[in-house]
Amino acid sequence: MKKILIIVAGLVVAFGAGYVPLYLKNMKLEDSTRDQLRESDAKAAALEQQLRLVRLESDLGVLMISVQKGNFGDARDRSSKFFDAVRAAMTSADDQKVKSRLEAILTHRDAVTSELVALNPAVMATLQTMFLQLRGEATP
């Protein structure tokens, strides 16, 4: 009986000696994987924000081309969609500098809309200012 207890105790010790190091190694790998996942999520969020800004630049550029061509009906439609997209981007932006740039652009909404309704090509100056604000090249 004593011999059986010694054998069982030896098996338990052997199992523990093999299990504990593998368990600790697995825990370190899990922590490392979680850290990498957090980093990847942060990078993905930053890239998504950059993509939104690039899309806004593109949309504003197409709006400016419509005004330049004198197609004010198309420009009004594009303007409405552009400002809606700016508002959506502003609510999802994490960077305070980006938020303030987008807020500054939104302040031009009423003026741009009224100038487009009036078929005034001088609205191009405001659109150019907005473009520079969007790119961070002008102060909001």
Q: How do residues 49-107 score in pLDDT, each as one tens digit?
A: 999 999 999 999 999 999 999 999 999 999 999 999 999 999 999 889 999 999 999 99
What's the CATH number where 83 sits? 1.20.120
Domain annotation covers residue 118: yes
**pLDDT value at 127 more than 80:** yes
6 domain residue, yes or no: yes
Domain that holds residue 86: 2-135
**Residue 101 falls inside a structural domain:** yes
Place of tokens 């709006």: 63
How many helices (H) and strands (E) in the chain? 5, 0
- Give domain status of residue 97, yes or no: yes
pLDDT of residue 75: 96
The total number of structural domains that make up the chain = 1
- Is residue 73 in some structural domain? yes
Q: What are phi and psi of 95, to 5 degrees?
A: -80, 125
Tell me, yes or no, whether 140 lies in a domain: no
Q: Which amino acid is at 117?
A: V
59, 78 in Cβ contact below 8 A? yes
User: Per-residue confidence at 43, pLDDT binned at 50, 70, 90?
Assistant: very high
* Residue in this structure with the two tokens 């999520």, named with its chain if needed: 41
* Residue 39, in any domain of the structure: yes
DSSP state of 62: H
User: Quick check: is 67 in a domain?
Assistant: yes
32-69 as b/e, with b when 16 or more CB fall inside 10 Å?
A: eeeeeeeeeeeeeeeeebeebbeebeebbeebbebbee
Judge residue 104's burial from the number of C-beta atoms within 10 Å of its C-beta, 0-12 exposed, 13-18 middle, 19 or more buried. middle
pTM of the model: 0.75
What is the distance between the alpha carbons of residues 56 and 62, in angstroms, rounded to a whole number? Answer: 10
